[in-house]
Amino acid sequence: MFVLPGDRIRCIEEFEAGEGVYEENGELYASVAGKVVFEGKRVKIEPANKIPELRNGDVIIGRVIDVRGSIALIRFERKVGQERALAKSFVGVLHVSNVTDEFLKNMEDAVGFGDVVKAKIVEDLKLSIKGEDLGVVKAKCKCGNDLVLDGDKLKCPKCGNVESRKISADYGRCCNGGKGSRNG
Amino acid sequence: MPEDILMEIKKDYVLSKIRDGERIDGRKFDEIRPIEIQTGLIAKAEGSALVKLGNTMVVAGVKMQPGEPFPDTPDQGIIITNAELVPLASPTFEPGPPDENAIELARVVDRGIRHSEAVDLKELCIEEGEKVWVIFIDIWALDDDGNLMDASALAAIAALMNTTVPAERFEVGEDFPLAVKDLPVAITSLVFEDKILVDPCLDELSIGKNTITITTDQNDNIVSIQKSGPFLLKEEVFDRLIDLSIEKAKEVRRILKNINS
Amino acid sequence: MEEIKLIVDGKRLDGRGFEELRPIKIEAGVLKRADGSCYLEMGKNKVVAAVYGPREVHPKHLEEPDRAIVRYRYSMAPFSVEERKRPGPDRRSIEISKVSREALEPVIMKELFPRSAIDIFVEVLQADAGSRTACLNAASVALVDAGIPMKGIVTSVAVAKVDGVLVLDPMKEEDNYGEADIPFAFLIRNGKIESITLLQMDGRVTAEELRKALELAKKGAMEIYKLQREAIMKKYVKEEEVME
């Protein structure tokens, strides 16, 4: 059943208000447009247009805003697969131990300031870029040009500068999931 | 406008009082604060009035000058109402052009005067299509202890009642007193759940600036309404507000009628 | 000025009955970039509404720690009226923006999105009377389209007094030469009018007329509410079928 905000959800048994449902004076109402879903003792709405929400395990696209010693700070910009902006931006932490399974000493060999990365939320604000498709998807050279793939390194086509990164398999062609077709 | 931190603290106290059926200043729910009106205090203005509504204080000045009529009303004078929430009136007012609150205040006062036809605009025609009187009503808040709206509306009409049209200065005849044909009165009430608090003071507004202003003319017609504030108004409350505002306006109108006598 | 008769033989100048709305057309989700949007025609009014957010608050100091802030910008295009309107907010637009925002705010579940902003933009492309009500109706659909949690749907309509009678949804001539204009907006929940969220009045009516105006507005609002629902259903229920 498709409902709109304010529609009363009729239940024969007692259900608890889940996502997209609110209770007032003992009645349950939808707060968003979408399909009614009963889940155990809860009733929720599968929204027609979902506001992005981040959960552990989600993959985000973010920007590196600081790199120091064994830590990089990454500002969350989008949830992968969604064009919609996040309700508020978070800053997550990437520790050097979450870059690869091999030993890596220096964070600066994995990400650089200003890089766009695809990262997985391990727990709350803790991030990981382990895995083939995670890691840097876009980086710029200090001279301002886009770095391009050169084997397992990144190279500046203009000044010849070579930099090492934990590169995502999507480097240079990340389009944020299936919805858009604009290749980066 | 940043809120005063004290407002946050006072909220609980005000609410507990209301739930006990009381107001923090001991007034009844439908009781208006004492009103004082002083007119003609600004000799340079064509008309002026200072209004005190409890501690809330507003001065309104009327200036007039000949100007071109609007093309669609070639035989009518023009009223322009402006309000300034100047920073001396409250720690939360900031310098700068009128914000949405000042604009709303001026427009609601203006509608009351306009739709009650307190001023006969046709009597303000000097030369049809060419020259008419333009009335500038400027409302200056001096002290905001809540409900600037009613104090401003009162100051505006009192200032008009006190206005002399400066015809001699502009060489278009002899000076004459501006004829005021109706006495619009605005009554603002704070709405909290199903409770109505007439003429809220600032402390009471700490529970939310959810007000209704109903302006009536001397024949008890309603000439302006403004719901102000993000709240849901129950029909039943609105229904009570109509009669309450008409009754309360009568009280205020009596005071207004006495100022020139 | 010559008297303009607004009611002739029990009909209004555009042939409508007293309790009849102007033709309304609503389409949800017309803009790609916005998170939710709506195009709406109400008589000769043509308006577009867009909703962005919840998103980050700029400037930062406007952030509220416990809820989203709601912003509403009513704007008229220079070509929307007979005489070119200077772009940018004038005093009328600022007041309309304020009361419209306050009409939606108590319906939006702001507390679900602390420290964020929900921005509602409405552009009047062609103005007739009642553009604020048309814009609110469009904004309401755009909010649903954006998936913003709300207690219900906001629906707006005006009642005017012309030639001594109350008429629903006044058009330009009735607004210009009528005796009163009373724009309303309501929170409608589960097909029932719950409360008033916008109320203004401009003109002169008796207490009795005001009460009647409210009843008339409620009737009109219920009709518009059905069209708002249909517009949203049309967008989503079709998409659903394609997905399945």
* C214 to chain A, closest Cα gap in Å: 22
Judge whether A2-47 and A59-136 match in fold: yes
Q: What is the DSSP string of C144-207?
A: HHTT--BSSEEEEEEEEEETTEEEES--HHHHHHSSEEEEEEEEEETTEEEEEEEEEEEEEE-H
- The per-residue pLDDT for A70 is 93
Residue C6 lies in a domain: no
Class of domain A59-136: mainly beta
The mean pLDDT of C24-32, rounded to a whole number, is 95
The mean pLDDT of B178-200, rounded to a whole number, is 97
CATH number of the domain bearing residue C125:
3.30.230.70
CA distances in angstroms from C50 to C34, C79, C121, C140, C144, listed in the order given: 6, 20, 5, 10, 11
Interface of C with B (CB under 8 A): 1, 70, 91-92, 94-95, 97-99, 101-102, 105-107, 180, 182, 187, 193-207, 210-211, 214
The mean pLDDT of B52-80, rounded to a whole number, is 96
Question: In angstroms, rounded to a whole number, what is the distance separating the alpha carbons of residues C169 and C22?
Answer: 7
Contact B/C (≥3 CB pairs under 8 Å): yes
Does the pLDDT at position C1 exceed 50? no
The mean pLDDT of B93-111, rounded to a whole number, is 95
Question: In angstroms, rounded to a whole number, what is the distance separating the alpha carbons of residues C216 and C183?
Answer: 11
3-state secondary structure of A34: strand
Per-domain boundaries in chain B:
5-258
Average pLDDT, chain C: 94
Average pLDDT, chain A: 89
Question: In angstroms, rounded to a whole number, what is the distance separating the alpha carbons of residues C181 and C204?
Answer: 9
Q: How many CA atoms lie within 13 A of C150 on its CB side?
A: 33
Residue C146 lies in a domain: yes
- The per-residue pLDDT for A144 is 86
Question: In angstroms, rounded to a whole number, what is the distance separating the alpha carbons of residues C1 and C143?
Answer: 44
Domain of C168 in residue numbering reads as 13-237
- The per-residue pLDDT for A183 is 29
Q: A2-47 maps to which CATH number?
A: 2.40.50.100
- The per-residue pLDDT for A11 is 74
Closest chain C residue by Cα to residue A32? C149
Residue C8 lies in a domain: no
pLDDT in tens, A68-116: 999 999 999 889 888 888 988 789 999 999 999 988 888 999 999 999 9
C180 has which bridge partners? C161, C203
Q: Give the tokens for residue A95.
A: 């520790």
- The per-residue pLDDT for C239 is 57
Angle B100-115/C91-104 helices, nearest 10 degrees?
A: 100
Contact A/B (≥3 CB pairs under 8 Å): no
Query: A46: buried, middle or exposed (CB in 10 Å: 19+, 13-18, 0-12)?
Result: middle
Element at B243 (helix H, strand E)? helix B235-258
C42 has which bridge partners? C24, C45
| Minimum-distance CB partner of A5 among C113, C150, C233 | C150
Q: How confident is the model at residue C175 (pLDDT cuts 50, 70, 90)?
A: very high
pLDDT in tens, C60-100: 999 999 999 999 999 999 889 988 888 889 999 999 999 99
A29 contacts C144? CB cut-off 8 A: no
DSSP alpha helix (H) spans, chain C:
91-104, 131-145, 172-177, 207-243
- The per-residue pLDDT for B130 is 95
- The per-residue pLDDT for B3 is 60
Number of domains observed in the structure of chain C = 1
Interface probe for C, chosen from B227, B236, B238, B247 (most Cβ of C below 10 Å), is B227
CA distances in angstroms from B80 to A171, B125, B181, C180, listed in the order given: 63, 16, 18, 20
Which residues in chain C have their CB less than 8 angstroms from residue B217's CB? 204
pLDDT in tens, C185-243: 999 999 999 999 999 999 999 999 999 999 999 999 999 999 999 999 999 997 555 44
Does the pLDDT at position C48 exceed 70? yes
For B5-258, which CATH superfamily applies? GHMP Kinase, N-terminal domain (3.30.230.70)
C232 contacts A33? CB cut-off 8 A: yes
Q: How confident is the model at residue A173 (pLDDT cuts 50, 70, 90)?
A: confident
pLDDT in tens, C103-139: 999 999 999 999 999 999 999 999 999 999 999 999 9
* A29 to chain C, closest Cα gap in Å: 8
The mean pLDDT of A142-160, rounded to a whole number, is 90
C148 contacts A85? CB cut-off 8 A: no
- pTM value > 0.90: no
Interface probe for C, chosen from A22, A24, A32, A37 (most Cβ of C below 10 Å), is A32
Per-domain boundaries in chain A:
2-47, 59-136
- The per-residue pLDDT for A83 is 82
